Amino acid sequence: MSAIVAENLSKHWTTADGEVRAVDRLSFSFDQGTLNVLLGPSGCGKSTTLRLIAGLELADGGRVSIAGRDVTDLPPSQRNISMVFQSYALFPHLSVGENIVFGLKVRKVTPADVGRRLARVADLLGLSQLLDRKPSQLSGGQQQRVALGRAIISEAPVCLMDEPLSNLDAQLRQDMRAEIRNLQRELGITMVYVTHDQIEAMSMADTIVLLNRGGIEQNAAPVDLYENPANTFVARFIGTPPMNLLPLVAGAGGAVIAGTDGPVLLPAGCAGGMLGVRPEHIAIAQDRGVPATVQGVEYLGADSLVSCRIGSAAIAVRVAGNSGLAAGAGTRLAWAPGAQHVFDRAGRRVAADGVHQTATLYA
Amino acid sequence: MTRTAQWAYAWLMLLPAMALLALFTHYPAAATAWHSFNSTPKGARSAVFVGLDNYRQLVDDPVFWQALSNNFWFALYTIPASIALSLLMATWVNGKVAGRGFLRLAYFTPTILPMIAVANIWMFFYTPEYGLLEQVLGAFGAPSHNWLGSKSTALPAIMVVTVWKEAGFFMIFYLAALQSMSPNLAEAAAIEGASRWHFFRRVTLPLLMPTTLFVLVNAVINAFRMVDHIVVMTRGGPDNATALLLYYIYEIGFRFWDSAYAAALTMVLLAILGLLALAQFGFLERRVHYR
Ligand SMILES: Nc1ncnc2c1ncn2[C@@H]1O[C@H](COP(=O)(O)OP(=O)(O)O)[C@@H](O)[C@H]1O
Ligand SMILES: [Mg+2]
C-alpha cells in the first residue's frame, strides 16, 4: 500500500511581483517504509511540497492522502506524522529530555511510558548523557539528534525532514546521512526527505522526485536518474561533475558536434538536439574517437578532471590518476555507444532504439 | 604608545561624559542626601544640621503615608494590568490579522502623544455632565458621576489612563520579542498536537520572560515616577486621594518651598526604587534567562 499519495497538488503565492506557482499539480506516491527524497534547486518548491504533506500549508488544489486516508483538510496534528525542521526548532528553554518528550506530554502519555520511550530513543541516538542540557549547550550535530529524537519518539509512521543536515559540516553530514538511513530502515518509517544536495539524495534515497519550478522533472530510483535521465535538466542536475551536453548540428552525412566538420556521430535527425556523455564514461584515446583540445587539468588525487573543447562545445573528462596532459595539447576522446544519451530539441530524452547509432567510431 | 599614555587617553575620552554624569546625576543625589539632614534655609536663617529631624517629621506626616499607600495601590493595579494588556495586544497584532499595520500604529499612539495632550483628552472623557463617559453611561440611564472629583473614583480613573498609555509602549517590546521567535517553533508544536493555549503557556511565555523582566522594571519605575497626569488632571485631589509620592514631593518642594523635607521624601523614594530594582534583577534574573 502507498503510504503517501499526492494528486495534482498545487500551491501558489501572490507576491508583490506577481503569482508564484510554488507547487504546480504534483502527483506522486511513496511506498510504505521507503526513503523518498524531494530534490531540486533552491526555490523549486521542495519545502512547500513537504509543508503541504505536513498540513502546515493548505493546498490550493489537489489531494494528499497518508496511509490510505485523505488528509487534505486535516490539521497537522491529525495526520500522524513527525517532522524535523532545517532550523531544528528546538525549544530553547527546555532541556534535551523535555524537548524530546514534548509531544508525548501533550498527548498525555503515562509517565512510565514516557520514561521508557525516552530512555530508548536517547540510547538509540547517543543522547543519554545530555538529557539535562539546554539546546544552547549542544553542538550542531547534537542538536540535530535531539530534533531527530523528538520526531522518532512519537512513533509516527511518516517522518518529514526539510534539509535536516544543511547546517552541519561536511564530515558530520556524511555520518548523519548513514545514521538517518539506518534509523529509517530499522524503524520501518516512511520518510520524505528534502534536500538540494544531489549527492545526499543519491546516497540515501529509495526514490528521488526531482523538482524544478514547482513541477516534477523525473520521479525514479537514483540509478535510473543517473543512467536514464528523462531530460537535459535531470542530466545536468545529477552527477559531479554533471553530464556533458554537446549541441548537435547537421553536417555532411549526419549530425556532428557544433563547430566541427565531423566525425558524424548520429543520424541527421538528431541535429538541433543534444548529445550527452558523462565525464566518467569518456576515455582519452590516441587512435580513435573525436579530436579535442585540452584546456586545463584539475588534479584531484584519485583522478583528474580534464577540461577539453570539441568545436564550440566544452567537455569535461574524468581520468584515473594523473592524466599527463597539458593545456593546449591535442587529443582524442572516445566513449562506448551505451554511454551516449540523446536529447531532442525540447531537451527530452530520445530512446536509444530511436537512434541508429554509428558505432564505427568506438571500439 | 606607552601604557601610561594609553590610560591617560582612555580617561580623557571618558572625561566629558563622566563630568556631565557627575554634575547632573551624582552631585544632585549626594546633595539631596545632605540636604535631608539639614533644615530648610529661610530668609536670613541659613540651613543648620538637624540630624534625622526631617525623617521624624515624615513618620508623623499622615499625607506622606497616604501618598505612599496611594502609590502602592497604583503600582499594584496598573503594573499587572498594563503588562497583561500589552502582551494580549502584541500576541494579537503578531498574528495574521487583517490591517495589522494599522492596529500596531493605533496601539502605539498613546505612547507618542504628549502626556499633557493625553491628560486633556481623558479630562474630556471624565468631565461630569457632558463628558464622553457620562454621555455613554447616561444613555443607559446611569446617574451622573464626577469621576475625577470624588474620592472613591479619582485614583482608579487615573489608573485607567496610565494602563492605556503604558500598554501601548510595552506592546512594542513584546511585539519585537514575538517577531524574533521562529515560526517553526509553533509549527513543531502544532505537529505534536499542542493547542495554541498550551504552546503559549509552555513556550511563548517562558521565552518572553526576559522581555517581561525588562518591561516589569520599567513599569515599576514609571509607577513611582508618575506625576504629569496628576498635575494636569487632579492636582493630587480630592483630599489627597490621588497624591502619589513624586507629586507630594513636588508640592512640598515647589509649592511650600520646604526643600529639606522634600529632600528627605526624595531619599525615601530613591530607596524604594533602588530596593525594587535590586529585588527584581537579583531575584528574577536567575529564573528568567534560559540561555
Ligand atoms: N510564504 C511564502 N510567501 C510567498 N512566497 C513563498 C512563500 N513560501 C515559499 N514561497 C515561494 O515559493 C517558491 C518555492 O519555495 P520553497 O518551497 O521554499 O522552495 P525550496 O524549498 O525548494 O527552496 C519560491 O519561489 C518561494 O519564493
Ligand atoms: Mg526549502
Return d(Cα B30, Cα B32) in angstroms, integer: 5
Size of interface A-B (CB pairs under 8 A): 58
| C-alpha distances out from residue B230 to B225, B233, B236, Å | 11, 5, 6
Assigned domain for A31 exists: yes
What average pLDDT does this structure show over A25-29? 94
Sign of torsion over alpha carbons B12, B17, B22, B26: negative
Q: How many residues are present in chain A? A: 363
Assigned domain for A359 exists: no
Which residues does chain A have within 8 Å of residue B184's beta carbon, measured at their own beta carbons?
A: 85, 87, 89
Q: Do A177 and A284 have their domain in common?
A: no
What residue's CA is closest to ligand 1, atom 2? A13
Q: Do A226 and A260 have their domain in common?
A: no
Q: How many residues are present in chain B? A: 291
- Amino acid symbol at B263: A
Q: Pick the last residue of a domain from A232, A265, A281.
A: A232
Q: Pick the last residue of a domain from A183, A211, A232.
A: A232
Q: Which domain holds residue A179?
A: 2-232
Asked if B192's CB is within 8 angstroms of A106's CB, the reply is: yes
How many structural domains comprise chain A?
2
**Most distant CA pair in chain A, distance:** 81
Which residues does chain B have within 8 Å of residue A107's beta carbon, measured at their own beta carbons?
A: 192-193
CATH number at residue A148: 3.40.50.300
Strand partners for A210:
A39, A218
Asked if A77's CB is within 8 angstroms of B191's CB, the reply is: yes
Which residues does chain A have within 8 Å of residue B198's beta carbon, measured at their own beta carbons?
A: 106
Return d(Cα B122, Cα B137) in angstroms, integer: 16
Q: Determine the straight-line distance between the first and last CA of chain B, rounded to whole angstroms.
A: 40
Asked if A134's CB is within 8 angstroms of B192's CB, the reply is: no
Q: Do A202 and A108 have their domain in common?
A: yes
Q: Do A122 and A24 have their domain in common?
A: yes
Whether the Cβ atoms of residue A194 and residue A38 lie closer than 8 Å to each other: yes
Cβ count near B76 (within 10 Å): 12
What residue's CA is closest to ligand 1, atom 20? A43
Q: Is B263 exposed, middle or buried (0-12, 13-18, 19+ CB in 10 A)?
A: buried
Closest approach of B92 to chain A, Cα-based (Å):
20
Asked if B187's CB is within 8 angstroms of A89's CB, the reply is: yes
Q: Do A152 and A256 have their domain in common?
A: no
Q: How far is the CA of B126 from the centre of ligand 1 (A)?
A: 53
Which residues does chain A have within 8 Å of residue B190's beta carbon, measured at their own beta carbons?
A: 56, 75-77
CATH number at residue A339: 2.40.50.140
pLDDT tens digits for range A190-201? 999 999 999 999
Q: Find which of A51, A58, A93, A162 to mutate to test the B interface (most B CBs within 10 Å of its CB).
A: A93
> Which pLDDT belongs to residue B82?
95
Q: Do A338 and A258 have their domain in common?
A: yes
pTM of the model: 0.82
Per-residue pLDDT of chain B (291 residues; tens, 9 = 90+): 688 899 999 999 999 999 999 999 889 888 888 888 888 887 777 777 777 778 888 888 888 899 999 999 999 999 999 999 999 989 888 876 677 778 778 777 877 888 788 888 888 888 877 778 877 887 787 777 777 778 888 888 889 989 988 898 898 899 989 988 999 999 999 999 999 999 999 999 999 998 998 899 889 988 998 888 888 888 877 888 888 888 998 988 888 888 888 888 898 998 988 888 888 777 776 666 555
Q: Do A259 and A341 have their domain in common?
A: yes
Q: Do A28 and A59 have their domain in common?
A: yes
Domains of chain B: 54-287 (1.10.3720.10)
Q: Do A191 and A51 have their domain in common?
A: yes
Return d(Cα B105, Cα B29) in angstroms, integer: 38
Assigned domain for A360 exists: no
Ligand 1 atom closest to Cα of residue A211? 22
Q: Do A224 and A247 have their domain in common?
A: no
Asked if B290's CB is within 8 angstroms of A92's CB, the reply is: yes
Q: Ligand 1 site: residues with CB under 6 angstroms?
A: A 13, 15, 20, 22, 40, 42-48
Q: Do A106 and A80 have their domain in common?
A: yes
Q: Do A224 and A317 have their domain in common?
A: no
Closest approach of A260 to chain B, Cα-based (Å):
55
The number of the ligand nearest the C-alpha atom of A212 reads 1
What residue's CA is closest to ligand 1, atom 21? A47
Q: Round the CA-based radius of gyration of chain B to a whole number and report it.
A: 24
Assigned domain for A50 exists: yes
Out of A12, A14, A20, mutate this one to test ligand 1's pocket (max ligand atoms within 8 Å of CB): namely A20
Q: Pick the last residue of a domain from A173, A205, A232.
A: A232
Asked if B291's CB is within 8 angstroms of A150's CB, the reply is: no
